[in-house]
Structure 1
């Protein structure tokens, strides 16, 4: 609505818009509806600048039903915390029972609004029904979790004329709010909350591993307080089964707390209720760490978080250094080296900071795979950069070796019987707990495996809802989520699954509740994790051309530019640390990298299969 919503020919007041940088500059409504007849569709207007603040206008005296509808829909896109003005368009009963926070429905171009022409005698006197219609893009649920959606949207809104006042008001409407895509992008922002993986700790340190849980909050309605409340309320239902929170059940902000902002030292004090007052120091540090990781995702300049109990009692405080000591956070781990295969199919490496620099030459890694004992097709280096898993040149066997000068190479850990190289093993992938993941693409007997520490017996992973054949796999550093490229009927899709483990029952791990990360891409040629809650993917847009883009794991659209175009991309490597350059293998240019603010630069003309640890 607003910028998106479709209306008619003549403008009427709908909402006031103020530019925060200019003070109170008021504009008239951005959409309109006719006084009579059908409400016609019009083209969506361009997206407004994100600095625009929108303030709702109350209903005018003796407003016509069409004006009531227009004003209400405009008010849904305002920056009012409780939608107070929107409620003025409702009857008292409807205002009391309407729950706008229950959901947000996002439509491609905003809702069109047309009268619902009831058969003669069906509509009571002094009542009218309008139909809101459009094409779904996504929904945001009561937990603020985003999910792509498609298909048509159609809902009725009923109006009645008050017998005493003579004013038209809405007396029946769907719960939640509805708006167009550009209004949604202006009104909401994505923020990742952080919890801890239930089944993964760092192999070398035993630290708990932070897991990102993206949600959408209203960007101009006290977002810091919204995010804190959301974190304390717990993880989204999709992620909840595989993570834990250090906050005791029932922990909430102290009653009446709002407007949380850091002080002039960039320190935030978070007042909590009595549920948090008796935790030990280690647990309190984990609680503050969850908050710091989460809020720095929203406000990068935040230096520290202090937790405060009832009566202003100080519970604990943590800064960036303390948080990173308390928990392992993938996006804070800068890899030492970039790895790839040279022209002789040997594993070589370059320091991350010097990849592509003039005069810098890649050197073979220590151990048998750097000496060329096995020619490789692809490989993965463990998160601690001590172990490498490599797929043989024919794609049939997976080998694991240490990155030590005296390392040895044993027999294959996993083997495939696929007829051709593309029907055999995928590129392997490591999580922070030292678990190694690989898929066998043999269409006669496809499998997904996890190998404990890269040396245990391969365990077959079940994927009960798998809609096709796995063509590629990348496990998240946290070991709680996995990205899969799945092929069916010649088309590939990028899916995210939750990794379920049941050590108590001894059942095999499973990948469950698959959901799309890039619903509009139908051919995926390469992908990699590129942050705690995003990936970079190379694929073909429906009806379009191949492109490289960043995608959120919940399927939402990311703001900001896509990586510079590059032709012939067959492999892509990114780090969860977003400061590290993107690296790719192009059939035309070999291994190339993309420094910030620059164009693609050649690293090694004969190189292939670049990877960062993971």
Structure 2
């Protein structure tokens, strides 16, 4: 289960035959190993095609204690839905008490194990093994991923059954433990969707959809897993900032164990009595949550039909209608890429253009009367905010009409450019976010609708100074580069608004967590999807690299961006048809899909897509 190791000090577990035609691989834990002595490990299951299912072998007759432990650990990495084979390595009492759904501990390598001691005499002998390893992550009972570190050490106790004489595990750790490579083979990240509870977006009655990534077992009826996960509600981290349209207690109808779309790509979801009285509007929101979630999992569902427990129809929602029920950031289609040219004007280039011709944006920010160092463009591309060349002043101007720029909406008192304003960022509700890096008064600020007196945002858990800000389109999550000790880390926070104390809301960023724990120093970042960011940074002792990261700190599947040196800023779009763009030592460059980095202009800086 850990990464394969070279050398013959550890004996590899035996594997049974792989039946490729049936798409099945059987794992056997029948390798004979001594019950004491050197540390042993359980080797990783070789990477298989994602369509190949892996099942474990049950314990063989008269297997020694070490083989029982190894076989059990092997069985944890199989595709057995209820871990039926793994339970055969346990005593009946231990099987009843063991709760694999309580979570999964992910280790850098497969768990090592060794015999610690034996107790008793003759037929009453028992064994105590210790599982050890280096922790990488923890997936909790809500399927939420959290990076962790430190040593893992848990006892496993075995006893001999007095009637059968067979060794079985009677004390074991809670949940499941496996190596990182097995975790990547067995699990996948899927976004489930809820609605912003305090969205400021003026979208009529449309709520704003917010992604909540969870990990599910890849080949164990992932569709049904995801439907149950949505019904169970948001993860603890996101929960305070979102709501679900499903009434509390809603679940699948009793007896429904699996869901499958029909040949028309419609998924019918029978619900229990808790959902029987919802109205048409609420039902459409419920179906939208499921449809957004399932389309993130598979393209084979384009319609969701919700049913009452008695079999009658609640509502049916198609893909086309879902987009009119809720706003989702990933469906935004930017028209232009924007950046600051060598005359310090805001200019733009058609987002899907392969050319290099640029035009100043309409309005005062494109005229050059006020020189800029960076800018941000609203999601509707009707307004822009620009930071003056010295970093001291923030201006907001229209991209829809000409006219004077007006006075700055915010000014910093920092002594140097590096101690003044960051590049601003818009959310889809039209609010403008920016950090003031002034060491005498560092703060995060939000201007409602890009105007008026700035609100200072509370960040009680912040330890360091904010050097870059990118708010998600949903206005619920925010990415911050935070400097401490001359190193920058990427943190994700949850935005909460409390309007109960007066005319102006109290805005807070809470639940700060690392999104790039493997990087020692992050130099640039941008949102690149509903729950994904692209970052440039360095691991300890290495050169700068670019990669994608998830908001929960995990690494998404798929290729990483091509290498690029000297990256100073990055721009990515939620629309994956648009190229990744960066400002580097080569100027403004872009990375079209399937190609290498191409120069757009030599003299330019601060590229941004809307947001």
TM-score by length of 2: 0.95
> Which residue of structure 2 lines up, in the alignment, with residue 64 of structure 1?
64
| CA 452–32 in structure 1, closer or farther in 2 if over 3 Å, else same | farther
Q: Kindly provide the CA deviation profile for residues 366-409 of structure 1, in whole angstroms up to 9, marking residues without a partner as x.
A: 11001112110001101111111110000011111111233431
Q: CA deviation at 1:229?
A: 0.0
Q: What SS is found at the alignment partner of 1:602?
A: strand
Q: CA deviation at 1:579?
A: 2.3
Where does 1:191-230 land on structure 2 (aligned, <5 Å)? 191-203=190-202, 205=204, 207-230=206-229
| CA 345–24 in structure 1, closer or farther in 2 if over 3 Å, else same | closer
| CA 396–272 in structure 1, closer or farther in 2 if over 3 Å, else same | same
> Which residue of structure 2 lines up, in the alignment, with residue 36 of structure 1?
35
> Which residue of structure 1 lines up, in the alignment, with residue 296 of structure 2?
297
Q: CA deviation at 1:9?
A: 3.8
1:592 equivalent in alignment to 2:600: no
Q: Kindly provide the CA deviation profile for residues 66-112 of structure 1, in whole angstroms up to 9, marking residues without a partner as x.
A: 11101111111111111111111111111111101001000000100
Structure 1 runs (4+) deviating above 3 angstroms are 2-13, 15-19, 24-33, 39-47, 120-125, 203-206
Q: What SS is found at the alignment partner of 1:322?
A: helix
For residues 583 and 112 of structure 1, the distance between their equivalents in structure 2, rounded to whole angstroms, comes to 44
Where does 1:525-564 land on structure 2 (aligned, <5 Å)? 525-564=523-562
For residues 24 and 530 of structure 2, the distance between their equivalents in structure 1, rounded to whole angstroms, comes to 39
Q: What SS is found at the alignment partner of 2:22?
A: coil
For residues 373 and 553 of structure 1, the distance between their equivalents in structure 2, rounded to whole angstroms, comes to 39
Q: What SS is found at the alignment partner of 1:369?
A: helix
| CA 184–236 in structure 1, closer or farther in 2 if over 3 Å, else same | same
Where does 1:251-266 land on structure 2 (aligned, <5 Å)? 251-266=250-265
Q: 1:510 aligns with which of 508, 511, 533?
A: 508
> Which residue of structure 2 lines up, in the alignment, with residue 610 of structure 1?
607
| CA 229–4 in structure 1, closer or farther in 2 if over 3 Å, else same | farther
Would you say the 8 A contact 1:592–1:603 is kept in 2? Answer: yes
For residues 525 and 213 of structure 1, the distance between their equivalents in structure 2, rounded to whole angstroms, comes to 26
Unpaired runs of at least 5, structure 2 = none
For residues 399 and 373 of structure 2, the distance between their equivalents in structure 1, rounded to whole angstroms, comes to 18
1:390 equivalent in alignment to 2:389: no
| CA 28–412 in structure 1, closer or farther in 2 if over 3 Å, else same | closer
For residues 199 and 26 of structure 1, the distance between their equivalents in structure 2, rounded to whole angstroms, comes to 48
Would you say the 8 A contact 1:18–1:52 is kept in 2? Answer: no
TM-score by length of 1: 0.95
Q: Kindly provide the CA deviation profile for residues 557-591 of structure 1, in whole angstroms up to 9, marking residues without a partner as x.
A: 11111011111211100112222211111122x21
Q: 2:433 aligns with which of 431, 434, 437?
A: 437
For residues 447 and 531 of structure 1, the distance between their equivalents in structure 2, rounded to whole angstroms, comes to 27
Would you say the 8 A contact 1:209–1:329 is kept in 2? Answer: yes
Would you say the 8 A contact 2:384–2:397 is kept in 1? Answer: yes
Would you say the 8 A contact 2:422–2:434 is kept in 1? Answer: yes
For residues 223 and 29 of structure 2, the distance between their equivalents in structure 1, rounded to whole angstroms, comes to 29
| CA 44–64 in structure 1, closer or farther in 2 if over 3 Å, else same | closer
Q: Kindly provide the CA deviation profile for residues 497-548 of structure 1, in whole angstroms up to 9, marking residues without a partner as x.
A: 1112111134621111111100011221110000000100011112211011
Where does 1:227-242 land on structure 2 (aligned, <5 Å)? 227-242=226-241
Q: 2:457 aligns with which of 455, 461, 468?
A: 461
> Which residue of structure 1 lines up, in the alignment, with residue 370 of structure 2?
374
Q: CA deviation at 1:47?
A: 4.7
| CA 411–268 in structure 1, closer or farther in 2 if over 3 Å, else same | same
Q: CA deviation at 1:428?
A: 0.4
Q: What SS is found at the alignment partner of 2:364?
A: coil
Would you say the 8 A contact 1:591–1:603 is kept in 2? Answer: yes
For residues 451 and 346 of structure 2, the distance between their equivalents in structure 1, rounded to whole angstroms, comes to 20
| CA 45–544 in structure 1, closer or farther in 2 if over 3 Å, else same | farther
For residues 97 and 46 of structure 1, the distance between their equivalents in structure 2, rounded to whole angstroms, comes to 27
| CA 293–491 in structure 1, closer or farther in 2 if over 3 Å, else same | same
Q: Kindly provide the CA deviation profile for residues 18-73 of structure 1, in whole angstroms up to 9, marking residues without a partner as x.
A: 46x52166566489562233243469558512333211111111111011101111
Q: Kindly provide the CA deviation profile for residues 211-247 of structure 1, in whole angstroms up to 9, marking residues without a partner as x.
A: 0000000011000000000000000000000001111
Q: Kindly provide the CA deviation profile for residues 241-291 of structure 1, in whole angstroms up to 9, marking residues without a partner as x.
A: 000111111111111223312222212111111221211111111111111
For residues 453 and 5 of structure 2, the distance between their equivalents in structure 1, rounded to whole angstroms, comes to 57
> Which residue of structure 2 lines up, in the alignment, with residue 144 of structure 1?
143
Q: CA deviation at 1:488?
A: 0.8
Where does 1:462-477 land on structure 2 (aligned, <5 Å)? 462-477=458-473
Q: CA deviation at 1:2?
A: 6.8
Alignment RMSD: 2.2
The count of corresponding residues between Structure 1 and Structure 2 is 607
> Which residue of structure 2 lines up, in the alignment, with residue 102 of structure 1?
102
Q: 1:408 aligns with which of 404, 411, 414?
A: 404
Q: CA deviation at 1:341?
A: 1.2
